[in-house]
Structure 1
Amino acid sequence: MAKHTRGKVRKMTISQWLHRYGPPILLISPSIILIGIFVYGLIGYNFYMSFLDSHTVAQQIGKKPSQFVGFENYQTLFNDPDFIRSLKNLLMLTAVFLVGTLVIGFIWAWILEKPIKGEGVFRSIFLFPMAVSFVASGVVWKWLLNSAVDENAAGLNRLFQMVGLGFLQNTWTANISTGILAIAIPAIWQLAGYVMALFLAGFRGIPAELREAARVDGATEWQVYRHVIFPQLAPIALSAVIIIGHMSLKSFDLIMSITDQRTYATKVPAIDMFNYMTDGDYSMSAAVGAILLLIVAIMVIPYLIYDAKESRR
């Protein structure tokens, strides 16, 4: 049967092929064209721009021709201590952001796993930060993370002072060494509820029969979680890592709302890209954007491959 079917496909004429596949292709062609131009086309142009020496506005308006310089802009970036600092800041932010949202989100989901009275209220409270934009929450957290201490204290430092916990006062984002970690606090506050929703859906999606079967076999409650429930949540955890990780790698609006874009302590590659663009250095800005795209791709593409293999099973 299969051989006979394949033989028919080979003998299909052009008119028959167009009759069968033409309408679907025409239906999706506008989307394909738009994506090709405004996504992949612009990505390609960004990479092309990163290989030029277009560092001034005069070159952009044609008063001075741009030259092809290959990977020179990338070499300049990786030899720049400020950009290396931005990469380190991004790594620290991503690590703390990921761990914080996963741990807090999982704990909240674990608490709400068994239906409790007022669960809807708690769920709404935990999910509320997601409804607030990063810019709006950043304005509030800019005041909360005020670096003034002692008699000039404000925000969280003032609260610590009032409750007798003055030793917890911190310079927050103004701290050269750990300023970027302060940005992780509002980021975790905003997205921990989203991770909670993912894990809670995973908990609720595990059949009760699996738990009961494990208990009948003599498993303790901890063993039920360890050997039955937690393995079922592995795909949820992987999805959360990919989603939160790529959001952290592209962090821009929250940092811009809380600190100045040129602050050394909280500078990340997205901020560098913005700074180069405002200075008219489009080639360096494009190079930073290309590096960010590659970092995100390294994180996301393996997950897409894994997901595609799992969907075929």
Structure 2
Amino acid sequence: MITSVKRAGAPLLLLAPSLFLVGLFVYGLIAVNLRTSMTDVHTAGQATGQQPSEHVGFDNYFELLSSEAFQHSLKNLFLYTVVFLVGTMVMGFVWAWMLERPVKGEGIFRSIYLFPMAVSFVASGVVWRWLLNSNQGESATGLNRLFQMTGLDFLQNNWWNNVDYGITAIAIPAIWQLSGYVMALFLAGFRGIPEELREAARMDGTTTWQLYRHVLFPQVSPIALSALIIIGHMSLKSFDLIMSISKPANYQTKVPAVDMYVYKSSFDYANAAAVGMVLLVLVALVVVPYLIRTNRKETR
């Protein structure tokens, strides 16, 4: 018993600094944020301690979730996440499928596809703000001007200025920026499949389509799930790209992360903290089931 305790003591001492820092700066600050979200600190005076704050329980959450403006933010977040996920997964998979069998100039194509990932969301947002300009007719710029010059005037639209679906236009640069990352994941999955499986399938007389459908695609399904989780949680926290394209914060492109920024800028720390906790729950709903599934696989 004493020996086992001594054996466990050394690893614990080694991990203690990291555990302390994580406990303090991650879980400790989450606890502070939760506490703030349950107070009535809605003004600068209360934030500086000039006015006493009171515990209001979940009132801030009820008011937020019943607010039409916040419901619009959640709707925007849902639309953005769906378009972002579908676009990145489809484009990343198609690119990986095209490069799965070595082709001439593969390194150049990989570099081209991966390059957008090296650009910050803020930098790309500045460029895409011009490309997605809503001006039409003689004052058209960006993509609208390109459509006008090529005779595709019917494709011109007001992009992110659309009140109902403007947020989906901002998903376009997000797809452009992260499709290469998803491609790299799928390509690594394809390249990790043993050649013996392919040869065995060919010897059984399978066609190329059957080979991919019944042998190769199932092998990369764990990669697809991992990519889905990574891209999904990134989309839920999107802020910098949206703000750099539609700054100042616009109603048509408003998402919870933007709401949190606006509340904090106006010293409404209680509602800002409440929005933060809502985002934490949304991200947890995506990530935690994946972690549980992965842990069960490892313990089998």
Please indicate the TM-score interval, normalised by the length of the shorter structure: over 0.9
* Distance of 1:208 and 1:19 partners within structure 2: 47
Given candidates 222, 225, 228, the residue that maps to 2:212 is 225
Structure 1 segments of 4+ aligned residues over 6 angstroms from their partners: none
Instruction: Give, as a single letter, the amino acid of the residue that structure 2 aligns with 1:29.
Output: A
- For residue 229 of structure 2, what is the aligned residue in structure 1? 242
Given candidates 27, 42, 47, the residue that maps to 1:55 is 42
- For residue 22 of structure 1, what is the aligned residue in structure 2? 9
* Distance of 1:261 and 1:312 partners within structure 2: 49
Given candidates 100, 103, 110, the residue that maps to 1:116 is 103
* Distance of 2:250 and 2:45 partners within structure 1: 28
Matching of residues 273-292 of structure 1 within 5 Å = 273-292=260-279
What is the CA-CA distance between 1:23 and the residue it aligns to? 2.5
* Distance of 1:92 and 1:60 partners within structure 2: 34
Query: What value does the CA root-mean-square deviation take over the aligned residues?
Result: 1.0
The answer on whether the counterparts of 2:243 and 2:249 sit within 8 Å (CA) in structure 1 is no
- For residue 287 of structure 2, what is the aligned residue in structure 1? 300
CA offset digits 1:179-200 (Å, max 9, x no partner): 0000000000000000000000
Secondary structure class of the residue paired with 1:105 = helix
What is the CA-CA distance between 1:242 and the residue it aligns to? 0.2
* Distance of 2:84 and 2:270 partners within structure 1: 30
Given candidates 35, 40, 52, the residue that maps to 2:27 is 40
- For residue 91 of structure 1, what is the aligned residue in structure 2? 78
Task: Name which one, 1 or 2, has greater alpha-carbon Rg.
Answer: 1
* Distance of 1:269 and 1:244 partners within structure 2: 17
The answer on whether the counterparts of 1:142 and 1:259 sit within 8 Å (CA) in structure 2 is yes
User: Under a length normalisation based on structure 2, what TM-score does the superposition of the two structures give?
Assistant: 0.98
* Larger displacement relative to structure 2 (165-174 or 241-250): 165-174
Q: Please state if 1:190 is matched with 2:183.
A: no
What is the CA-CA distance between 1:219 and the residue it aligns to? 1.5
User: Under a length normalisation based on structure 1, what TM-score does the superposition of the two structures give?
Assistant: 0.94
Instruction: Give, as a single letter, the amino acid of the residue that structure 2 aligns with 1:58.
Output: G
Given candidates 236, 251, 256, the residue that maps to 1:264 is 251
* Distance of 1:99 and 1:17 partners within structure 2: 50
- For residue 166 of structure 2, what is the aligned residue in structure 1? 179
- For residue 7 of structure 1, what is the aligned residue in structure 2? none
What is the CA-CA distance between 1:218 and the residue it aligns to? 1.8
* Distance of 2:128 and 2:83 partners within structure 1: 17
What is the CA-CA distance between 1:261 and the residue it aligns to? 4.1
* Distance of 1:261 and 1:248 partners within structure 2: 20
Q: Please state if 1:202 is matched with 2:189.
A: yes
* Distance of 1:157 and 1:70 partners within structure 2: 49
What is the CA-CA distance between 1:159 and the residue it aligns to? 1.0
Given candidates 119, 124, 129, the residue that maps to 1:132 is 119
* Distance of 1:293 and 1:190 partners within structure 2: 24
State the number of aligned residues.
300
Structure 1: state its 5+ residue gaps. Answer: 1-11
Instruction: Give, as a single letter, the amino acid of the residue that structure 1 aligns with 2:103.
Output: I
Instruction: Give, as a single letter, the amino acid of the residue that structure 2 aligns with 1:187.
Output: A
Structure 2: state its 5+ residue gaps. Answer: none
* Distance of 1:19 and 1:43 partners within structure 2: 33
* Distance of 1:181 and 1:154 partners within structure 2: 19
* Larger displacement relative to structure 2 (188-197 or 170-179): 170-179
Secondary structure class of the residue paired with 1:265 = helix
Instruction: Give, as a single letter, the amino acid of the residue that structure 1 aligns with 2:286.
Output: M
Q: Percent identity?
A: 64
What is the CA-CA distance between 1:18 and the residue it aligns to? 5.4
What is the CA-CA distance between 1:236 and the residue it aligns to? 0.4
- For residue 199 of structure 2, what is the aligned residue in structure 1? 212
CA offset digits 1:127-167 (Å, max 9, x no partner): 00000000110011011111100100011111111111111
